[in-house]
Amino acid sequence: MTRLLDVENLTLKFKTDEGLITAVDNVSFTLEAGEVMGLVGESGSGKSVTAKSLMKLNASNAVYDERTKIVLHLDDGPVDIMTLKSSKDLRVVRGGAISMIFQEPMASFAPAISIGDQMVEQLQIHTDMNAKRAKEVSIEMLDRVGISDASTRFKQYAFELSGGMRQRAMIAMALSTRPKLLIADEPTTALDVTIQAQVIDLMKDLVTEFGMGIVFITHDLGVIAQTADSVAVMYLSRIVEQGTVRDVIRRPAHPYTKGLLAALPSLDDLDRPLTPVPGDIPSPLDRPSGCVFNTRCSANLGAVCSRDLPDFTTVADSHRVACHLFNEGAAK
């Protein structure tokens, strides 16, 4: 496998009237070509902000920490994304090497421009295709993602398509530039289960065919189990556990991951009581000191958890967890 993406110490704060809000804190991960990495967490955990940072797509009040390093390895050499300043420089990654699929496909298409014109426009910006060739490629892609009668759909507007079809068109558009990295931000959350199953299948097929890397953001652990190779669990701006999907779901180490799995209703055991994770996610303005999860943790060790930020401990090959329970030197 070839390395596609290196993210090191990604730290990002938002400047607001109420002060600096830490949205992402010291997040590091790597992605190989052809790998699907799941990014799981609850609302407000910073997963979307992390993904958008890969294209520097966050709002203008975002302040990246100077230690942040994001390197995308392309065919003609590595690109250090943090050094790209102007939107002209960023065009190489935005929509070119990196494409993104959003949760709400209705909001991501311009309502007054036909689907086809939008697809052709981005192809002309990011590739050297002429209009005629761009149209051919677009119709081919629409057909490839399972939209029947693609040449008619090409002329239609977003409101004329159903939810599942819009998401397919979104995927077709994102993939038509042949990106190296695809960011999928809750791509199936707004869809019904039967349509979700179709979209997941489609994405799996396309990874095999195009060999790109995918960062898959979702709050649904079932979707992660079925699509991703590796997974990172985020809580309140930090990664608390990461590893291969099998390791993390079968042998969760962090109390938060365990809590998430215990709170999830499962069809295999209807008698199992649902155990909520006690309390609520603290406000980002009021981050707990020490381990970010210590206010809701059932395995809280006391002083050490509310004082020190836990380091990552490796529990198995690539399975890492940030929790004092696994920190050998930590005082009990």
Partner 1 sequence: MSDDLLIEARDLSVHFPIRGGGLFGPAVVVRAVEGVNLDIEKGSFFGLVGESGSGKTTLGRALLKAAPISRGSVQYNDGEVQHDLTKIDGKALKDYRSRAQLIFQDPYAALSPRMTVRDIIAEPLEVMGLTSSREETDERVREIAAKCRLNLEHLRRFPHAFSGGQRQRISIARALVSGPRFVVADESVAALDVSIQADVLNLLKEIQQEMGLTFMFISHDLSVVAHICDHVAVMYLGRLVESAPTRELFAAPRHPYTKALLSAIPSLDPDAPNIAQKLEGEIPSPTNPPPGCKFQTRCPYATDICRKEEPKLEHSSGEHEVACHHWQDLMD
User: Contact residues for partner 1 (CB under 8 A)?
Assistant: 42-43, 162-165, 192-198, 200-201, 219-223, 225-226, 245-246, 249-250, 259-267, 270, 273-277, 280-281
Distance from C-alpha of 108 to C-alpha of 161, rounded to nearest angstrom = 13
Least Å from the CB of residue 180 to partner 1: 25
- Residue 46 CA to residue 23 CA, distance in Å, equals 6
Contact in structure between 154 and 116 (CB atoms under 8 Å): yes
Q: CB-based burial of residue 216 (10 Å sphere; 0-12 exposed, 13-18 middle, 19+ buried)?
A: buried
Q: How far is the CB of 140 from partner 1 (least distance, A)?
A: 21
Q: To the nearest whole angstrom, how small is the minimum distance from the Cβ of residue 70 to partner 1?
A: 28
Query: How far apart, in whole angstroms, are the C-alpha atoms of residue 233 and residue 236?
Result: 10
Q: Closer to partner 1 at the Cβ: 22 or 198?
A: 198
Task: Report the residue number, 275 or 318, with the smaller CB distance to partner 1.
Answer: 275
Nearer to partner 1, 73 or 153 (CB): 153
**Least distance from partner 1 to the Cβ atom of residue 259, Å:** 6
CB-nearer residue toward partner 1: 112 or 193 = 193
Shortest reach from residue 276's CB to partner 1, in Å: 4
d(CA 59, CA 197): 33
State how far the Cα of 307 lies from the Cα of 304, in Å rounded to an integer. 5
Q: Taking Cα atoms as reference points, which of 55, 307, 89 lies closest to residue 181? A: 55
We find the least distance from the C-beta atom of residue 255 to partner 1, in angstroms, to be 12
The Cα 152–Cα 314 span in angstroms is 53
Distance CA(261)–CA(266), nearest Å, equals 9
